[in-house]
Amino acid sequence: MLATKGVKKPTAEKALEALAAAGKLVRKEYGKSKIYWPSQEGRAALTPEESAAKQARIKELQDELRGVEEQVVAQRRELAASNSSHTDEQMQDSAAEAQQKQAANATKLAGLRSGARLISAADVAAVEKACKTMVELWGRHRRDFRSLWNNVSEGLSGKEEALFEEMGVDSDKMVGADFEGAKALSQPVSKGAKPVGQPGKKARR
């Protein structure tokens, strides 16, 4: 019980031994356990009325203790809420930071609405070059695999897609990849070229 109130065991034992040495407590040992209680020498037995009065007083004090504990819990909650709240200076800093972000977003939105180029020509060229390189590697792997497959597939029975699935080979068709479309996209766009899918004049044969 004392440990729940923050009293350490060595401190409690030292205090109890001192009270027992002074004759204010009686100590009995039961093996490794020690029991202490107030000395009853020289004290008259309580009358039923006195005992009832003390019991009533104990109950009254217990009720007061519960009320104080509830107040302590409420004050601790208020303290925690206060510590988690921002100060006026912190609120001002947060408001200033939010205004800066809003201004930056407004500038970015204005650029998007105006149709201005948001990336440099060098960035566009680098992306186009990387895309072209990836598509070229894709085509090279396709040709190498097809050459190897044509040699090893002679004499095999069954459809190619079924054989691929059984062997764990993923073809472009099986994964929904469009090599020809990617190849067309990787080509640099010439000035005056119409976007893919835009209607135009029919080519003469």
Say which residue, 108 or 52, is predicted with more confidence: 52
Q: Over the stretch 168-190, which tens digit does the pLDDT of each residue have?
A: 888 888 888 888 888 887 776 65
Q: Residue type at 200?
A: G
- The pLDDT, as a whole number, for residue 118 is 66
pTM, two decimal places: 0.34
Compute the distance between CA of residue 187 and CA of residue 205 in angstroms, rounded to an integer: 24
* Listed range (2-6, 94-98, 136-140, 199-203) with the worst mean pLDDT: 199-203
Q: How high does pLDDT run on average in the chain? A: 82
Q: Which two tokens stand for residue 66?
A: 């519960």
Q: Over the stretch 21-38, which tens digit does the pLDDT of each residue have?
A: 998 899 999 888 889 998
Compute the distance between CA of residue 167 and CA of residue 148 in angstroms, rounded to an integer: 14
